[in-house]
Amino acid sequence: MPAPADIEALIALMARLPGLGPRSARRAVLHLLKKRNLLLLPLADAMRDLAETARECVVCGNLGTADLCPVCADERRRNGQICVVEDVEDLWAMERSGAFRGRYHVLGGTLSALDGVGPEDLRIPRLEERIAEEGATEVILALGATVNGQMTAHYIADRLAGAGVQVTTLAQGVPMGGELDHLDEGTIGTALRARRAI
Amino acid sequence: MPAPADIEALIALMARLPGLGPRSARRAVLHLLKKRNLLLLPLADAMRDLAETARECVVCGNLGTADLCPVCADERRRNGQICVVEDVEDLWAMERSGAFRGRYHVLGGTLSALDGVGPEDLRIPRLEERIAEEGATEVILALGATVNGQMTAHYIADRLAGAGVQVTTLAQGVPMGGELDHLDEGTIGTALRARRAI
């Protein structure tokens, strides 16, 4: 190995990040070592600080640095709508769209018989508590259009049937900028069945 | 912003790494926050340690954690050959090939009139000192097959003309696994001119 063990160890850690392979991790570490004061030290400090302060929001499961995440801490977002997402990255994606003004509920995954993930593993009981506590009027299921995502959506819809809350789900169809000949048959079929008058 | 300022700050720092854009930096940070003890803390510690210990080898310019890098510290590699590379990543690439058993000399870039990089900026004077000090017999120029790389190679070859050392350069030609119809004309032309009997 041309680099000493300490540097190789950092490369190995970096290579475990999603999106970085062994080669790009090596390049990233070299870049860090060249930009010691500008990048390496600030990054090390930011990581160490967040390792101590980052925690899950006690209400919705979003990641933040306080008991309440920025969304749950904002009283204006208590509008009766709860958007259920699989994971924190989905919550962030919804927020980037700027289209939703209510609160979230992070499940922490999807139901999966194969992986032995049941409703108790997914903060579904906590969702029922929140609906009652917050007097929610609508639960929007923003789960992935995957087999497990849709199975989980149907399970939650069934379970909330008697909870006196409207349960909706994201529309499926042609994505913005989508060209028909690049779309899969399933998407086109769904979009056709859900066609609407213009 | 769905995430608090501290997390956004870490995402912004990560996005400055080569190979990570804003989106993959966000994914990487979420991954780090989920693997706090397994990845985030070890990474923060490894970075902080290296920020203190990493330094350039006083002989060749390789990165290491001691005054002498592992290559220069290995007496068996003092074989009279010095391989000149542009940057540390090129040194590491040469080492991965396992084909070279001598020592290195990292220039720290290439000559560039446009960017105002002259010989004094590139450890070229130090190369001349080393040739005398180490009694080198061969200088292998392993610079990129780019305009600046080749210009730098020719400049060094000229400058070392009277130094009593053999100056060689890497062969150019068809890369291993290279298919002719995917290669550029320049490579094919070079390989044809440098053809050899088999």
Residue A50: list chain B partners with CB under 8 A.
6-7, 10, 32-33, 40
Pairing status of strand B55-56 against strand B63-64: antiparallel
Cβ count within 10 A of residue B139: 25
Q: Is B138 helix (H, G, I), strand (E, B) or coil?
A: strand
Q: Which residues pair with B169 in a beta bridge?
A: B141
CATH code of the domain made up of B80-169: 3.40.1360.10
pLDDT at A1 over 80: no
CB contact under 8 A, A14 and B43: yes
Distance CA(B91)–CA(A32), nearest Å, equals 17
pLDDT tens sequence across B141-179: 999 989 999 999 999 999 999 889 999 999 888 888 888
pLDDT tens sequence across A133-190: 999 999 999 999 899 999 999 999 999 998 899 999 998 888 888 888 888 888 888 8
CB contact under 8 A, A53 and B1: no
CB contact under 8 A, A65 and B6: yes
**Which of B1, B10, B17 is the best mutation test for A, with the most CBs of A within 10 A?**
B17
Q: Is B117 helix (H, G, I), strand (E, B) or coil?
A: strand
Shared fold status for B5-53 and B80-169 = no
Which amino acid, residue A13?
Answer: L
CATH code of the domain made up of B5-53: 1.10.8
pLDDT tens sequence across A6-37: 999 999 999 999 989 988 999 999 999 999 99
Distance CA(B140)–CA(B82), nearest Å, equals 6
Across the interface, of A10, A16, A69, the residue whose CB is closest to B50 is A10
Residue A6: list chain B partners with CB under 8 A.
46, 49-50, 53-54, 65
pLDDT at A119 over 80: yes
Tell which residue, A29, A37, A35, A33, has the closest CA to residue A12: A29
Residue B109: list chain A partners with CB under 8 A.
none
In this predicted structure, what is the pLDDT of residue B186?
85
CA angle (B87 as vertex; B84, B88 as ends), nearest 5: 100
CB contact under 8 A, B44 and A48: yes
pLDDT average per 10 residues of sequence, chain B (198 residues)? 83 94 92 93 95 94 92 93 94 90 95 90 94 95 92 95 92 85 86 83
In this predicted structure, what is the pLDDT of residue B1?
60
pLDDT at A2 over 80: no
Across the interface, of A2, A14, A32, the residue whose CB is closest to B95 is A2
Long-range CB contacts (within 8 A, 24+) of B2-5: B2/A62, B2/A69, B2/A70, B2/A71, B2/A91, B2/A92, B2/A94, B2/A95, B2/A96, B3/A63, B3/A64, B3/A70, B3/A92, B4/A64, B4/A65, B4/A66, B4/A69, B4/A70
How far apart are the CA of B100 and the nearest CA of chain A, in angstroms?
12
ipTM of the complex: 0.80
Q: Which residues pair with A56 in a beta bridge?
A: A63
pLDDT tens sequence across A57-105: 999 999 999 999 999 999 999 999 999 999 999 999 899 888 999 999 9
In this predicted structure, what is the pLDDT of residue A122?
93
Distance CA(B27)–CA(B38), nearest Å, equals 17
Largest CA distance in chain A: 66
Q: Which CATH class is domain A63-169?
A: alpha beta
CB contact under 8 A, B71 and A95: no
- DSSP secondary structure, chain A, as one string: --S-HHHHHHHHHHTTSTT--HHHHHHHHHHHHHTIIIIIHHHHHHHHHHHHH-EE-TTT--EESSSS-HHHH-GGG-SSEEEEESSHHHHHHHHHHT---SEEEE-SS--BTTTTB-GGGGTHHHHHHHHHHHT--EEEE---SSHHHHHHHHHHHHHTTTTT-EEEE---SPPTT--GGGS-HHHHHHHHHT----
| Domain locations in chain B as residue ranges | 5-53, 80-169
Residue A92: list chain B partners with CB under 8 A.
2-3, 26, 30
Pick from A110-114, A130-134, A173-177: least confident: A173-177
Q: Is B47 helix (H, G, I), strand (E, B) or coil?
A: helix
Residue B13: list chain A partners with CB under 8 A.
39, 42-43, 46
Q: Which residue of A has its CA nearest to B26?
A: A89
Across the interface, of B30, B49, B65, the residue whose CB is closest to A89 is B30
